[in-house]
Structure 1
Amino acid sequence: MSFHLSGSIVQNFKVRFPRLSSRFRIKALAAGTAAVVLAAFAPVSAHAGAPKAPRASVALTFDDLPGIVLKPEQGYVDETNEKLLERLHHYHFPAIGFVNEGKLDEIVRERQIANLERWIKAGHDLGNHTFSHGSPNALGAEGYIADIARGERVIRPMMEKAHRRLQWFRHPYLETGSPAAVKDRIDAWLTAHGYRIAPVTIDCDDWEFAEPYDEAVMTGNKAQAERIRNVYLAYTERTIGWYRKGARVLFGRDISYVMLLHDTRLNADSLDGLAAIFKRQNMKPVALDKAMRDPAYKTPDGYQGKDGIEWLERWSLALHKDLPWNEYEEVPKPISEEYNKLDNR
């Protein structure tokens, strides 16, 4: 997801909600209780004393570079990237950033490009996230392919100059094309042009926390920012646990996960907390290429629907195994309400 500037904010986020997958059907029956909402405010330290989790690895992927922000303030975007990259370096965490080149002209083009160069200089790869963050449902196969091709005009030569290969593609909204003919056409083009699809096997909906967090930071409300950050980290740790349980249902073991994050101030300010979660969960951040060597990623993806769903759900359909949706938690209601209020402003 992305907080695109100008009039596209509403358009991009409204597409996210029609994910009428099994998690939402279960939600209608099981979610929304006061206990679930209140549990979201439990401190992260509530996990202290729990048995040590099995060892696992996770690739950290950040969408919507060169950064997403509530208001078009270039200095804020620059500071976000500088801090995020500094904390990744501090923890020696490899990462990859997926770029929407359409963002380059949304604020100050040369400074937006400089942020992409920061990522490469810091040792991280860049991937293609399309030019406009559009949907294949709206653009069709050929329009979507054109948007992918347009989204590499800056980053491909940038990567080549750094003696690296542009090889990773991430679908906006995780929408891979529908019906089958559209998906197959897009997949064939990606393969022919040397791209590999970057799947998602952990998605903690960080985008929904990020806009309220920007509002708190930009208005100087430090207490509100801290509250949102703490709720985000607590929710993220529980959601990571759910995905790990889901992987064990499908494969009988932890897989090497690929985690979807976004280039936001929230994640820049939360990297210390995320590092603490990975330590408690016994998870080691690794490069995307290394994570993708896990045999789980050879599982067929036969999903052909319009909804953007992550890969554990796709694989559950292919393997005819049910994920534990009755245990899945939606984003806490107070966060969703605050996000909706800002999005409708």
Structure 2
Amino acid sequence: MRTRSRLSLLLGLGLALLSAPARAEPVALTFDDLPALSFSPSTDYWEASTKSLLAGLVRRRIPATGFVTESKLEGPDAARRVRLLIDWLDAGMDLGNHGYSHESLNKTPLDDYIADTARGELVTRGLLADRGRRPRWFRYPYLETGTAPEVRARFEGWLAAHGYRVAPVTMENSDWLFAVPYDDAVMRGDAAAAARIKRSYLDYTAAVTPWYRQAALQLLGRRPAFVFLLHATRLNADSLNGLVAILKANHLHPVSLDRAMADPAYRIPDTYVGPDGDEWLSRWAMTLGKELPWASFPSPPDDIAAEDRQLEGDSQ
């Protein structure tokens, strides 16, 4: 009888473990190219996208950091576009520096790049100062960190002296590739095309998200807090329900960038310099002398890539 009771207890414990929900893993959502990355030059369009995106984030109590490209604030609608940054702060989000002109350190002389970065905080720093805060995060445009160690070291020394940390990326979904065709469909009033592109975008995100989780596990022996690169687009505003569902299905729970960056993984040295704008799992793999499972990496849909190329070419 005692043996039977012990077996029943062990069986009960095993069933409880099997039925227990998987522990949610942290992920910080970051949005580049504020006030908006858009195929439309219309500030009305930008305002509608921003209002929708922020409303969705606030409704779900999701913290986010937006990286500002301040050249986008210029023009006759400057005050309205600055207002969009204020809306981000009013919604409880944080703002970081993405450079004034979205230049690449790989292609820009260091002194010019530093000047562009300094110019890229003028408005943002003032808005944060009004709230007793300051800009603390810098994201490299194109994730390109320079082609010479001394150039990168000097630039990141400048960042540190001005109170910045680099915001890395450990998860992304090529959302920018889908954003232009989506904007075009919305602007043309083609609801069927917009729905098709949105579905393709969410399908691709659902495919690539578990790849990053598995790649991190293979590389580090565990899954760190992720930093997800997205962009401030109409597509992400309209797809937020689906994106959140994908995160939940992958046991990912949105947290602030500060919380994600407290993960010890972000202390792994990143010594990469070169022509590619690699995310940080790739950089850590180089540091650790390991390989990522690139053979199983899902490629973005060819039809979406072709639409993006055509539209970008037509706009030149």
Please give the TM-score of this superposition, normalised by the length of structure 2: 0.91
Counterpart amino acid of residue 241 in structure 1: P
| SS at 1:103 equivalent | helix
2:259 to 267, 276, 290: 290
Q: When the two structures are aligned, how many residues end up with a matched partner? A: 295
* TM-superposed deviation, 1:278: 1.5
Equivalent pair of 1:74/1:107 in contact (CA under 8 Å): no
Equivalent pair of 1:64/1:262 in contact (CA under 8 Å): yes
1:110 to 79, 82, 100: 79
Counterpart mapping for 1:170-249 below 5 A: 170-249=139-218
1:127 to 59, 83, 96: 96
* TM-superposed deviation, 1:306: 2.1
Percent of residue pairs bearing the same amino acid type = 49
Alpha-carbon displacement from aligned partner over 1:177-198 (angstroms, at most 9, x marks no partner): 1211111111110011110100
| SS at 1:199 equivalent | coil
Counterpart amino acid of residue 198 in structure 2: R
| SS at 2:177 equivalent | helix
Worse-superposed segment, 79-88 or 273-282: 273-282
**Unmatched runs of 5 consecutive residues or more in structure 2:** 1-19
The 1-side partners of 2:235 and 2:103 are apart by 24
Equivalent pair of 1:53/1:280 in contact (CA under 8 Å): no
2:298 to 329, 333, 337: 329
Alpha-carbon displacement from aligned partner over 1:96-125 (angstroms, at most 9, x marks no partner): 100000000156100100000000000001
| SS at 1:154 equivalent | helix
- Say if 2:145 is the partner of 1:139: no
Relative to structure 1, the CA distance from residue 80 to residue 64 in structure 2 (aligned partners, 3 Å threshold; closer, same or farther) is: same
1:152 to 116, 121, 128: 121
| RMSD of aligned alpha carbons | 1.2
Aligned to 2:137: 168
The 2-side partners of 1:307 and 1:54 are apart by 34
The 2-side partners of 1:258 and 1:59 are apart by 5
Alpha-carbon displacement from aligned partner over 1:127-147 (angstroms, at most 9, x marks no partner): 000000001122121111111
Counterpart amino acid of residue 51 in structure 2: E
* TM-superposed deviation, 1:279: 1.6
- Say if 2:286 is the partner of 1:317: yes
Equivalent pair of 1:72/1:107 in contact (CA under 8 Å): no
Counterpart amino acid of residue 149 in structure 1: A
- Say if 2:30 is the partner of 1:61: yes
The 1-side partners of 2:24 and 2:96 are apart by 28
Counterpart amino acid of residue 145 in structure 1: I
Relative to structure 1, the CA distance from residue 107 to residue 56 in structure 2 (aligned partners, 3 Å threshold; closer, same or farther) is: farther
* TM-superposed deviation, 1:174: 0.2
| SS at 1:147 equivalent | helix
Computing the radius of gyration over CA atoms, which structure comes out larger, 1 or 2? 2
1:100 to 51, 69, 82: 69
The 1-side partners of 2:59 and 2:259 are apart by 21
Worse-superposed segment, 73-82 or 159-168: 159-168
The 1-side partners of 2:244 and 2:75 are apart by 31
Relative to structure 1, the CA distance from residue 138 to residue 95 in structure 2 (aligned partners, 3 Å threshold; closer, same or farther) is: same
- Say if 2:226 is the partner of 1:257: yes
Equivalent pair of 1:244/1:254 in contact (CA under 8 Å): yes
| SS at 1:285 equivalent | strand
* TM-superposed deviation, 1:230: 0.8
| SS at 2:230 equivalent | strand
Runs of 4 or more consecutive aligned structure 1 residues displaced over 3 Å after TM superposition: 51-54
The 1-side partners of 2:270 and 2:220 are apart by 15
**Unmatched runs of 5 consecutive residues or more in structure 1:** 1-50
The 1-side partners of 2:108 and 2:64 are apart by 29
Alpha-carbon displacement from aligned partner over 1:267-321 (angstroms, at most 9, x marks no partner): 0000011111112111100000000010000000010112111000000000111
